[in-house]
């Protein structure tokens, strides 16, 4: 009798979960809206929403059961969760419900329907600098990714610009890491984006950043190339010039000749003057990584500085209440607004893009507050 009751209860739970799925599942085609964002404790949050993640079976996945595939490849959730998700139709293959023992085949479409909780970012406005017929430039806040990636979809520069200004589609023409702030140039059409790409590939574009670094930087132009340090074996070169110093920190103009991942950060470390709140590249004699963790604001505190990466936002402060969004019974993040694992301390790097110059064009961005050493 107990087994019958348990089976009946499990069937009832699965049926309730199926009814919960009778909602609008969002895809990348759904644009961000103003009402999607809430502001709380200096952070921009996104109201949780339902989202369909789509992937296709590759050679490595082929021949695995659907549960084994998710348990081995996507370890952010438990195996029991994936079993339940398959049973209630939250995981489908080619648009159809399948049993937990189903073996996937090459190129099949796999859909995973999730209650999406995006990580918060700093509650800064994305300031429009220039709005031309074919080009838009903005001052990108630190901590905000440029385009959808990983857990970020709406909490991105492209998502915010579409929601708050109705600006879409946009085509970013250069990379700017999530923790870096400053000038971001976007084309408004593919033809203009291709024109910028040709200038960049031909080596006709000059880039300038400012960084706040540890110590007194040399009062002379310094050049670092891959002869001094390597970036995955690729050629890399950056020129540095000191702008100012207060004896504790220096503001340095950084001019990357090439464009490698973390190039400026690696090359500044090579000079002995890493970015003063960059936990990834601060040497052990500047700050003890093991005791501080990995956030920029904590690193800054022990290198003689202060976070200084906060920014003003003109958005109304949100009075947090978990009843303001639907609680999903299968969601591993509910009832919290932010996803599990987010500690709330992350801030931006003291690295800021200030100017891009090309053939007969130049775009600039104001210096950040932390670039003043008064």
**If you ran DSSP here, which 8-state letter would residue 194 be given?**
H
Dump pLDDT digits (tens) for 215-241. 999 987 787 776 545 455 567 789 999
Q: If you average pLDDT over residues 259-264, what whole number do you get?
A: 82
94 is catalytic: no
CB 169 within 8 A of CB 153: no
CB 73 within 8 A of CB 61: yes
Q: Which of 18-32, 83-97, 270-284 is predicted with the least confidence, judged by mean pLDDT?
A: 18-32
Round to the nearest angstrom and report the end-to-end CA distance of the chain: 78
SS (H, E, C) 67-96: HHHHHHHCCCCCHHHHHHHHHCCCEEECCE
Beta pairing partners, 241 = 253
pTM of the model: 0.81
Q: Which of 47-51, 141-145, 152-156, 339-343 is predicted with the least confidence, judged by mean pLDDT?
A: 339-343
Tell me which of 309 and 358 has the higher pLDDT: 358
Confidence at residue 316, expressed as pLDDT on a 0 to 100 scale? 59
For residue 200, the SS3 value is helix
**Rounded Cα–Cα distance for residues 341 and 118 (Å):** 12
Catalytic residue, chosen from 36, 68, 177, 343, is 177
**Rounded Cα–Cα distance for residues 177 and 173 (Å):** 13
What are the structural domains of the chain?
35-116 (3.10.290.10), 125-289+307-371 (3.30.2350.10)
Nearest alpha carbon to residue 344 among 144, 152, 121, 125:
121
Dump pLDDT digits (tens) for 95-152. 999 999 999 999 999 999 999 999 999 999 999 999 999 999 999 999 999 999 888 9
Q: If you average pLDDT over residues 173-178, what whole number do you get?
A: 94
Name the band, by pLDDT with cuts 50, 70 and 90, for residue 310.
Answer: low
CB 296 within 8 A of CB 348: yes
Nearest alpha carbon to residue 52 among 7, 139, 1, 116:
116
Structure tokens at 237: 């070169």
**Rounded Cα–Cα distance for residues 265 and 305 (Å):** 18
Query: What share of the chain in percent tops pLDDT 90?
Result: 64
Give buried/exposed letters for 214-234 (b at 16+ CB in 10 A, else e). Answer: bbebeeeebebebeeeeeeee
């Amino acid at each position: 009798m107990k087994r019958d009751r348990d089976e009946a209860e499990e069937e009832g739970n699965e049926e309730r979960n199926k009814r919960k799925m009778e909602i609008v599942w969002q895809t990348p085609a759904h644009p961000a809206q103003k009402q999607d964002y809430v502001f709380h404790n200096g952070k921009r949050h996104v109201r949780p929403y339902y989202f369909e993640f789509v992937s296709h079976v590759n050679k490595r996945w082929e021949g695995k059961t659907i549960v084994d595939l998710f348990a081995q490849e996507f370890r952010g959730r438990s195996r029991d969760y994936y079993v339940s998700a398959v049973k209630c139709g939250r995981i489908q293959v080619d648009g159809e419900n399948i049993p937990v023992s189903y073996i996937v085949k090459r190129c099949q479409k796999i859909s995973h329907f999730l209650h999406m909780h995006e990580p918060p970012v700093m509650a800064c406005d994305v300031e429009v600098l220039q709005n031309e017929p074919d080009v838009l430039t903005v001052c990108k806040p630190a901590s905000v990714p440029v385009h959808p990636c990983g857990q970020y979809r709406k909490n991105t520069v492209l998502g915010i610009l579409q929601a708050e200004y109705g600006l879409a589609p946009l085509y970013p023409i250069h990379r700017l890491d999530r923790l870096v702030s400053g000038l971001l140039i976007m084309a408004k059409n593919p033809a203009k984006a291709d024109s910028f790409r040709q200038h960049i590939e031909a080596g006709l574009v000059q880039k300038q950043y400012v960084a706040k670094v540890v110590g007194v930087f040399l009062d002379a132009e310094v050049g670092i190339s891959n002869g001094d340090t390597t970036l995955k074996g690729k050629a890399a070169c950056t020129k540095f010039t000191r702008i100012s110093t207060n004896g504790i920190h220096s503001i340095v103009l950084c001019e990357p000749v090439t464009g490698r991942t973390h190039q400026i950060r690696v090359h500044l470390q090579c000079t002995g003057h890493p970015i003063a709140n960059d936990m990834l590249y601060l040497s052990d004699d500047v700050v003890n990584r093991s005791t501080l963790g990995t956030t920029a604001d904590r690193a800054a505190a022990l290198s003689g500085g202060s976070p200084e990466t906060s920014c003003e936002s003109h958005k109304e402060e949100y009075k947090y209440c978990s009843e303001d969004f639907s609680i999903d019974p299968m969601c591993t993040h509910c009832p919290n607004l932010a996803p599990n694992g987010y500690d709330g301390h992350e801030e931006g790097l003291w690295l800021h893009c200030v100017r891009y110059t090309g053939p007969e064009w130049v775009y600039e961005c104001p210096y950040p507050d932390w670039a003043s050493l008064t």
